[in-house]
Each structure stands twice: as structure tokens, then as C-alpha cells.
Structure 1
Amino acid sequence: MSSVATWPSQAETWLDQRGKGAWIAAMILGFVFFWPVGLALLAYMIWSKRMFGNCKKSRNARHAAYTFRSSGNSAFDAYKADTLRRLEEEQQSFQNFLKRLRDAKDKAEFDQFMEERERSSRNSEPQEA
């Protein structure tokens, strides 16, 4: 069951490693053999932005293929794994920091909006003498 679920991601990784030409060839073959497959591949390529420019995901997939290969030196592999883990933790911390920063900015803007709204509603109410 799990091999059925993973074959699309394996095929995607395989095509990403070979570049945009492989995606286009797969799409053309899809049109030749069964046109809905070609149409589905075209839609996916457009939706995932593989059709335009350098695909960030395909670059990351190619980079990941080289990053996690063993060098044969166990001490270096351990150092590399530890460094990559630490960098991923720092990246996650930074992303959390940016999220908190955006949330604080959104809250400040909302509070300012509510104050201005309250001020304008007080000014628009008729004054009793």
C-alpha cells in the first residue's frame, strides 16, 4: 500500500533530477499514449511552476540528492549530519520568529484600526448639551 502512495513522489523526484526537459518529454509521451495523462502533467507543471524559469523545488531535490550521500568518512558524515540538523533548527527558529513578528505587526495594525474606528464613532455621535 505504501509503495503505491510513494511512486508519484519518486517519479517526481526522478523527473526533477533530470530537469525541465524530462518533464516536457513525460508530458509529450502522456499526450501521445493517453491524452488525459498529458493534460494532467501539463496542468501539474503549470500549477507547480515547473513550466516557468528555474524550479526551486527541482534545484532543492537535486541538492538533496548530493547532500545526504555518504562520503565514506564516518566522522565527517556525523559532523555533516549534526551541522545540517543545527541549521534546520536555526531555520525553523527564524521562521517562527518571523511568524511572531508578522503576528505582532498584524495585531498592532488591528488595534490601531479599532482605535480609529472607536474615535470616529465617538466623533460622529451627536453631542448632548
Structure 2
Amino acid sequence: MSVLRINKTLQKDRKESVGKYPMGRRMKQGFLLYVTAVFVMTIGTVTVFAADDPLTVINNLSTFIFGLIRAIGMILLGFGIVQVGLSLKSHDPSQRANGFLTLAGGVIITFAKEILTMIAG
């Protein structure tokens, strides 16, 4: 009987520890400020102007899209540097390999426009 009681107590403790953590007022305000800053930085910074010439419109859209791709590449580049640094600290070879692959992928994505123009001529 005592084993059954201990098992029920452990299950109850496990259910209580998995519950959601409540967000306080300051945390909600901080999260709202963060979401607003990300929204303003991604939507409000780059404007694509329409023109009479359709080729100009396509070039503006291309510049906008490659700007977004460059931003994603820079994020991956920074994440790869962090991964390599953490792997050097923990002496983990698989994490180091993943870090260098992420770093290389970030470089390729960052300079995708230049690579494509070099290939196309």
C-alpha cells in the first residue's frame, strides 16, 4: 500500500511541475515592447517604391528580397560564431562541426546576391 501512495504522490508532483508559468505585468510589458520593436524593424525600415517602368519595380522588389535574405544570412553567421565558441569551450567535436557548417551557410546566404551575379555574369 505504501508503494502505491508514493507512486500517486510522485505523479501529482510531476503534474504540478509541468504547469504553465504565469507572466507578470512587467514581463508582459517587456514582451510587448520586444514584439513591437521587431515589427517596426522588419516592416518599417525598407520601402519598395513603385515606378512607371515595370523593370524598375522588379529591381526594387529584387533589392528588397535580397536585403531580407542578407539579414537571415547575418543571423545565421552570428549563430554559427556562437556555436563554434561554445564548442571550443565544451570540447565537443560534433557541435564544432555543426558550428562551422552554420558559419559557412551563413556566409553563403549573406553573399547570395553577389554569388548569383558572379555566376550569371
- TM-score (norm: length of structure 2): 0.40
- TM-score (norm: length of structure 1): 0.38
Higher relative contact order (CA 8 A, sep 6+): 2
Rg (Cα) greater in structure: 1
